[in-house]
Amino acid sequence: MFPTERPRRLRRTPALRRLVGETSLEPRHLVLPMFVADGLDEPREISSMPGVVQHTLDSLRRAAAEAVDAGVGGLMLFGVPRDEDKDPSGASGIAPDGILNRGLRALSSELGDTTVLMADTCLDEFTDHGHCGVLDSNGAVDNDATLARYAEMALAQADAGAHLLGPSGMMDGQVGVIRAALDAAGHTDVGQLAYSAKYASAFYGPFREAVGSSLQGDRRTYQQNPANRRESLHEVDLDLAEGADMVMVKPAMSYLDVLREVADRSTVPVAAYQISGEYAMITAAAANGWIDRDAAVLESLTSIRRAGADIVLTYWATEAAGWLRR
């Protein structure tokens, strides 16, 4: 009358559980998104993301060095310009002396090839309307005019020392246009982490504060409908055909089903972004004593890895890497 199969035998001790664990989470799997802001004398905390800050160039260098020492796999840099430097075309995102490119040069000079330096290749932080591209006469994002700006932005970021570019604007053809521009300029070794499946998510809210967004309206005409799944696979196929070196699903936690399918389909490494709203939810619940923060962080990151991500972008990268190394 007793069971002959007892799966619990392999859960009895920590050593047994470690021996048969199917999914690993290591510091090298983690990428730290970072924000560098113009005009700051000291780091400025992001109120909706407790523990995350907009950096000065000096604090950016220190935090990046700490992350690399902890063993994280890479850094993804976002620039936050002053409001007076924003314009309809996002020119300060392309200018060599714009805050993002200055930040990239600072990290490249400081860290060299000891980490993978990534750049957000998108105009939304730099436009006065907050959209990811330039607008046409009707106020809609002009896909093809935006591609020309992305090509310029990509060259500026490659010149500043980025190893990987992150085209995140969801413009049709962006990966191919950037690849052609990079190759024509001799930047054949600079790769692309394509934001292939990026959804118009409600969970981006805190990120708007993080980058000082000037967004008017929404991005539903170019980011994906959260109801769609097959569309993501089509987007991934297009980006792979255009030369993407890696592909990404964003957000991560609410789209683990999409992540699994993308991982099964992709011939290149797959990343997933644990975004600001996901960070804020766990942080807020832990602050209220409703969950064990550290355990929830590790469980969430492990779930993203289990769903198929080779790389996880997370604001907990440095902290989690320290836990994992210990």
Q: What is the pLDDT of residue 57?
A: 98
The model's pLDDT over 1-19, given as tens digits with 9 standing for 90+, comes to 789 999 999 999 999 999 9
pLDDT band at 205 (very low <50, low <70, confident <90, very high): confident
CATH topology of domain 25-325: TIM Barrel (3.20.20)
Helix (H) or strand (E) run with residue 120 in it: strand 116-121
Average pLDDT value for the chain: 96
**Residue found by looking up tokens 């591609």 in the block:** 147
Write the pLDDT tens digit of every residue in 80-90. 999 999 999 99
Q: Is residue 213's pLDDT more than 90?
A: no
Catalytic residues: 198, 250
Please tell me the least confidently modeled range out of 55-69, 102-116, 198-212.
198-212
Q: Calculate mean pLDDT across residues 87-102.
A: 97
Residue 128 has pLDDT above 90, yes or no: yes
Give the model's pLDDT for residue 48. Answer: 95
pLDDT at position 268 is: 97
In the chain, where the domains are located: 25-325
| pLDDT score, position 111 | 97
What pLDDT sits at residue 215?
84
Mean pLDDT over 188-200 rounds to: 97
Decide the pairing of beta strands 53-55 and 164-167: unpaired
**pLDDT score for 125:** 94
Greatest Cα pair distance, the chain, in angstroms, is 77
Say which residues have a Cβ less than 8 Å from residue 44's Cβ, sequence separation at least 6.
37, 53, 54
Q: What is the mean pLDDT of residues 239-265?
A: 98
Average pLDDT over residues 25-38: 98
- Residue 28 is predicted with a pLDDT of 97
pLDDT over 90 (residue 218): no
pLDDT, one tens digit per residue, over 57-82 is: 999 999 999 999 999 999 999 999 99
H or E stretch at 265: helix 256-265
Question: What confidence score (pLDDT) does residue 189 get?
Answer: 97
- With CA atoms as reference, report the closest residue to 212 among 31, 77, 38: 38
- Structure confidence at residue 208 (pLDDT): 87
Cα separation, 107 vs 78, in Å, equals: 12
- Please give the pLDDT value at position 212: 87
Average pLDDT over residues 31-41: 97
Measured distance CA(78)–CA(102) in Å, rounded: 11
Contact of 184 with 99, CB cutoff 8 Å: no
Question: What pLDDT sits at residue 217?
Answer: 78
Among the listed ranges 25-29, 208-212, 304-308, which one has the minimum average pLDDT value? 208-212
